[in-house]
Amino acid sequence: MPLHPSLEEGLGALFMVFLCALCVFGVQKERKGEEMELQEAIMGRRSIRKYTDQKVSDAQIEAMLKAGYWAPRVNERWRFIVVRDAETRKILSRRDSPKGKVATQPHVANAPVDIVVCIDFRGASERDRALYAMQEASGAIENMLLTAHEQGLGACWNCSFDDEKVKEVLGLPEEVTPIAIISLGYPAEAGKGIRRKTLEQIIHWERFKD
């Protein structure tokens, strides 16, 4: 028996409400799952300084670069340079060392891939130079480290390098400055981390208190 048109409309509307509720419930469930994974990645990431010879694929590197790209941004002065060449990696591994002594960070040379994060300061305002550029790049670095970890890779954030040598070997213009090298590969160690201050030592509510 055909339904009365108004009853048919009512049932249709009820069905739509039911569908919407299902969608919202589904999305919320999914979001909850994502948040848990994110916390695991944040807490579980450790600096890794020993790597196997296993090749890191372009797709894995691209996933990291994309994660860096999606960090909060102001002027996007960050530049990411992917280095696989062994000779270049050797130069990247040279530390900034006082009094001209040559010291190295072997893990930077031994990593199959290094991603050099630079800032292009050309045309930057004073505030951009002092705050924005470094902070947006730092956010990008953390996104890349977490994405490396998510993909089962090991990485380390390195800032002790020879600025001039890095600039020279990468052909950086005068105002493009290297600020970090992410050494990257499949982990050959668990990564220990170091003791940190407690949360209580660094958190202040409302006003700073010594």
Ligand X SMILES: Cc1cc2nc3c(=O)[nH]c(=O)nc-3n(C[C@H](O)[C@H](O)[C@H](O)COP(=O)(O)O)c2cc1C
Binding site for ligand X (CB under 6 A): 46-47, 49, 105, 156-160, 191, 193-194
CB of 194 or CB of 199, closer to ligand X:
194
> Residue 38 Cβ, how far from ligand X at the closest point, in Å?
16
> Residue 96 Cβ, how far from ligand X at the closest point, in Å?
9
> Residue 54 Cβ, how far from ligand X at the closest point, in Å?
21
CB of 2 or CB of 193, closer to ligand X:
193
In sequence order, the β-bridge partners of residue 154 are: 185
CB of 194 or CB of 203, closer to ligand X:
194
End-to-end CA distance of the chain: give it in Å, rounded: 80
CB of 47 or CB of 88, closer to ligand X:
47
SS3 of 173, please?
A: coil
> Residue 209 Cβ, how far from ligand X at the closest point, in Å?
26
CB of 139 or CB of 191, closer to ligand X:
191
SS3 of 79, please?
A: strand
CB of 88 or CB of 160, closer to ligand X:
160
31: tokens are: 């979001």
The region that residue 72 occupies, defined by phi over 0 for left and psi between -120 and 50 for alpha, beta otherwise, is: beta
Would you say the C-alpha torsion 55, 114, 74, 131 has a positive or negative sign? positive
> Residue 12 Cβ, how far from ligand X at the closest point, in Å?
55
**Contact indicator for 147, 64 with CB cutoff of 8 Å:** yes
Phi then psi for residue 81, to 5 deg, are -115, 120
> Residue 105 Cβ, how far from ligand X at the closest point, in Å?
6
d(CA 94, CA 82): 17
Phi then psi for residue 66, to 5 deg, are -65, -40
